[in-house]
Structure 1
């Protein structure tokens, strides 16, 4: 049974301490019900504090974290997966990802650890991030649990057609980070044109495009209350078929997160 994720989530990369906790509480009180963090972000305690600060019950929040690449050896993955619970101050995660298939990642050992963390109740669902179709195939062969989500960079200039089709075919959700293209894509003429039609911003158009797209959930990050609320409001923006065709007709492709060690560069 696939995990039913909300239409939009809050990314927390780059925020820490009180700023992060306030952003999480603001987002939840505004209506978000999906929060994404990672061991790499060094902010799990703040994310947990933000959940407790909000008026929303923990049970109503989809909470995700990711195992640091250097922690993906079997023993380290098992230990640090549980440590993430302690840092967050929760009894279980809703999603636990392999963050990058790099560093200490070994398919058999890393995924065995993830499967055991699932079986032991540390996480309700297992997930992966920054995988290729080939690595997804391999993971699906190794895991007993279904992959619930695959997180990758995704926005109108990197629509990830192949991975979206893969997600739809295999029953998981593509979770899109950098859904606003880090703001670097707002001057794209097609996005500007659609924004002008709706008297809104290219940022809102990017969010609405993601929400309208099959098997895709965007997780924009922001620590600014106005932007947090605006991103949530954008999820309700109705784009027409013409709007979607305009956006899908963008020919330029731009990847913003592209480390040399990424699987697609091997």
Structure 2
């Protein structure tokens, strides 16, 4: 799966699934800071029982979208509905059914992992691999353990909507895999929205992936749909240096091109 550079034409959007319940729905969301649009006319549905990834480079609008979804600040225009409730008028009700793990851990350094989960609930200690660390102060935990603790808190209380902003930022590969397992095990009956700039993470975890670029939706669909439409492999840009003479066309390989590929020739 490679980064797409396309406008969000209808052909870039997989048809919406008709057999799934919409948990969160964004309609024409725009957020403007001073004169710059961080998110522009974003229309997107998130489904119950699915993990949907917001994927894009830094500055693509992922965290801004997450911040609007969690009510940290309002959109400049547009509307958001969470299980039929309007986020502008029913935010208190919505927040009771929402678990959030922001990009930066929000933990009490002088509480232990057990005390954190006792503050919310105790059931996640063993499931998330934190049981052996339950008496450690949060400030002494490794980066991976801190992220697991933050995600555990977001999952507690039977939250119907779980929002994870770059959940594996700054963790080692082993902890990253552990976090993937936690998310995958807890998707049933929930609408999970996560942001990431890791292609492999989005592909492994997601039922649907929404690519954002400069605050706009570029394409959206299942990993299979996106691979079928945009292919996979390498995109090469070749530039002839000045004064290097004439280039020759590459000789044909004699083999048939694979689906979605074309023979390579370099005209000069």
How does the TM-score come out when normalised to structure 2?
A: 0.35
The structure richer in strand per residue is 2
User: Greater helix share, 1 or 2?
Assistant: 1
Q: Which has the higher contact order (CA 8 A, sep 6+)?
A: 2
Larger Rg: 2
TM, length-normalised to structure 1 = 0.36
